[in-house]
Amino acid sequence: MKTLLLLFLSLTLPPSFQQAVLYLSGASCIEDLSEDELQRYQTLASHPADLNRSGRSRLLATGLLSPFQVASLLDYRTRSGEVLSWTELGLVDGFSHDIVEALRLFFVLGVQDAPPGRREDRRFRQTVTLRGGARASGELAGGLKYEASLGERADFYWSTRTTYSNPRLSPGTISAAWYGKGVVGQVIAGYFNARFGQGLVQWSGFQLSGYSTVGAFRKNGTGLSPTGSWSADLLGVAADWNFGAWRLSTAYSFLGNRPIANLTHTGRRLTAGLTATHQAASLEARLSLPGWSVFGEAAASYQGEIRGLAGAVWTPRYGHRIALLGRWLGTGKQYSGVAAGYGGPALDATIDAAWRPDTRSGQYKALVQWHPDYTWLGLAWQPVLRLQGRLRPEDDTPLRTEARGMLTVLAERWTVAGRYDAVWCRGFAWHWYAEAGYRSGNLSCYLRGGLFKVDDWEDRIYVYERDAPGSFTVPARYGRGWDASVYAAWTINRHHTVWLRLETVQYPWNLTEKPGRTEVRVQYRFRM
């Protein structure tokens, strides 16, 4: 019998949304992510899955759990019943304390509200999101997203939008999924994602292009999933079936006439899968040992092109990981090479040496990031120091070096932050901003202002800015000028939420005349 003490253990507060996304995605900073990937995390945070009631396919469809973690959780639920607390989840094989803390933003433990004799939630929920934007120049943009769910049994997404460059409204993307708990794992109609192995043969949607953290070395091939993405590239039908430790996934995309099949076996220590498409096939395996994780995938196209990668992650002690990866990605435009990295509680460091066989050109990357958290004078201090370099000896400007310093100070409901970026490439470029914010239970507001000097496009600096869920704002600072923005979010009640963003970018000191930009965005969400 489970000890009741688990119900009374004190828990630490979960990390912020941004910290959780970076940990789970393996990105070193939020600017590494794409619009669709960040939107996926926002959708999961708004509609968390139930770790106690969801079946295998529903858990895998979140994209946040590996097949081994899902198998381990289902086995634990069978033997011990529901997971009663996040502390208890940390006792399940495959779930470390750091993983559990990050997952708390995207999952729930649905046990307390379950009526006697009914363990499955089949409540019908709907969410409608309207968004609009306008620029001082007269340009308009808007969007509509509809989401519905039937407990943990079914999901439905419909998204459509216009942009400033394309004001025409299209039918958008539609995706529907039904989740089973027996042999039939799930059935999907419409747009979907298919992510298998390490991505050598089939990986739709976003994936990190570099090795900026240890978390980016190894991918979790989570299989099939519906998607509310604006720009999904697979449209058709998909389904998977569960046969004990085996899972068979099949799909067909009408876009590109692409059949996809995968057979995966998940064991206690070894997970292996075979993937085939109309272009290539691959064999992927992952071995988990005490303190070690060894992984790899070998792929071959039907024309004889060979690709492969292999790596290992070593955990010498809690909170410290060392990774090594070697890859051969064929004779095309991709870089093959070796990468190594270290990830610790307050320090991340990676190095990557690679080359392109088609041009016989090399590329060398290194990144070091120091990010401690500590408390002083009753305040939470979160400094970040980041150094990144890239060397391409054959380029006209072979060396690009970036330095970033950032400090965030938290005091109950108040936040004060500052950041400075410097880039040495074609010339010397820099960007600085300061931000102050207030956050209560149902209202948050942030004011940001900055200066920048970037005279060459090759020296551009990307800066993530706060925006409403589903909107992605990572502008590239280029020119000489200043920027300012106001962001506010108000949760009126459990049904209504409103977001507002005002921003302006001006170039009074630019070397050549450049028009500024002023924009307002409004978003409203109605949840039934």
User: What pairing do the DSSP bridges indicate for beta strands 107-108 and 49-50?
Assistant: parallel
Predicted TM-score (pTM) of this structure: 0.85
Residue 96 has which token pair?
Answer: 């470390």
The answer on pLDDT for 68 being more than 50 is: yes
Closest listed residue to residue 345, CA positions, set 142, 98, 145: 98
CB 49 within 8 A of CB 152: yes
Is residue 161 in a domain? no
- List, for residues 90-99, the tens digit of each pLDDT value: 888 888 888 8
Report the pLDDT averaged over residues 407-419: 93
Closest listed residue to residue 250, CA positions, set 286, 302, 199, 196: 196
CA distance 15 to 45: 13
In degrees to the nearest 10, what's the CA dihedral of 454, 460, 464, 468? 90
The answer on pLDDT for 116 being more than 60 is: no
Identify the pLDDT of residue 278: 94
Average pLDDT along the chain:
89
Is residue 426 in a domain? yes
Q: Which domain holds residue 451?
A: 413-528
CA distances from 379 to 48, 409, 411 (A): 30, 7, 5
User: What are the DSSP E strand ranges found in 56-153?
Assistant: 107-108, 124-135, 140-150
- List, for residues 99-110, the tens digit of each pLDDT value: 888 898 899 887
Q: What angle do CA 380, 343, 268 make, to 5 degrees?
A: 115
Phi/psi of residue 22, nearest 5 degrees: -65, -40
CB 178 within 8 A of CB 185: no
For residue 475, what pLDDT band results from cuts at 50, 70 and 90?
confident
CA distance 208 to 458: 21
3-state secondary structure of 466: coil
Burial 184-223 (b: 16+ CB within 10 A, else e): ebbbbbbbbbbbbbbbbbbbbbbebebbbbbbbbbbbbbb
Report the pLDDT averaged over residues 478-482: 96
Q: What is the DSSP string of 129-179?
A: EEEEEEETTS-EEEEEEEEEEETTTEEEEEEEE--SS-------EEEEEEE
Is residue 354 in a domain? no
Is residue 507 in a domain? yes
For residue 1, what pLDDT band results from cuts at 50, 70 and 90?
very low
Closest listed residue to residue 99, CA positions, set 54, 68, 58: 68
Q: How many CB atoms lie within 10 A of CB 405?
A: 15
Identify the pLDDT of residue 117: 44
- List, for residues 304-326, the tens digit of each pLDDT value: 999 999 999 999 988 899 999 99
Residues in CB range of 25: below 8 A, 6 or more apart: 32, 33, 37, 41, 208, 215
Closest listed residue to residue 218, CA positions, set 366, 322, 305, 289: 322
Paired with 259 in beta bridges are 252
Q: Reduced to 3 DSSP states, what percent helix, strand and coil does the chain have, rounded to the nearest 5?
A: 10, 50, 35
Report the pLDDT averaged over residues 342-367: 94
Residue 17 has which token pair?
Answer: 């949304």
3-state secondary structure of 446: strand
Is residue 8 in a domain? no
Q: Give the total number of structural domains in the chain.
A: 1
CA distance 507 to 504: 10
CA distance 99 to 382: 20
Residues in CB range of 466: below 8 A, 6 or more apart: 446, 448, 473, 485, 487, 501
Is residue 488 in a domain? yes
For residue 283, what pLDDT band results from cuts at 50, 70 and 90?
very high
Residue 2 has which token pair?
Answer: 């489970």
Identify the pLDDT of residue 122: 74
- List, for residues 254-277, the tens digit of each pLDDT value: 998 999 999 999 888 899 999 999
CA terminus-to-terminus distance, the chain: 38
Is residue 312 in a domain? no
Per the model's pLDDT, the better-predicted residue between 151 and 390 turns out to be 390
CB 319 within 8 A of CB 98: yes
Is residue 4 in a domain? no
Closest listed residue to residue 224, CA positions, set 53, 67, 32, 45: 67
Closest listed residue to residue 277, CA positions, set 234, 308, 320, 247: 234
CB 348 within 8 A of CB 371: yes
For residue 21, what pLDDT band results from cuts at 50, 70 and 90?
confident
- List, for residues 139-181, the tens digit of each pLDDT value: 999 999 999 999 888 999 999 989 888 888 888 899 999 998 7
Residue 244 has which token pair?
Answer: 């004990």
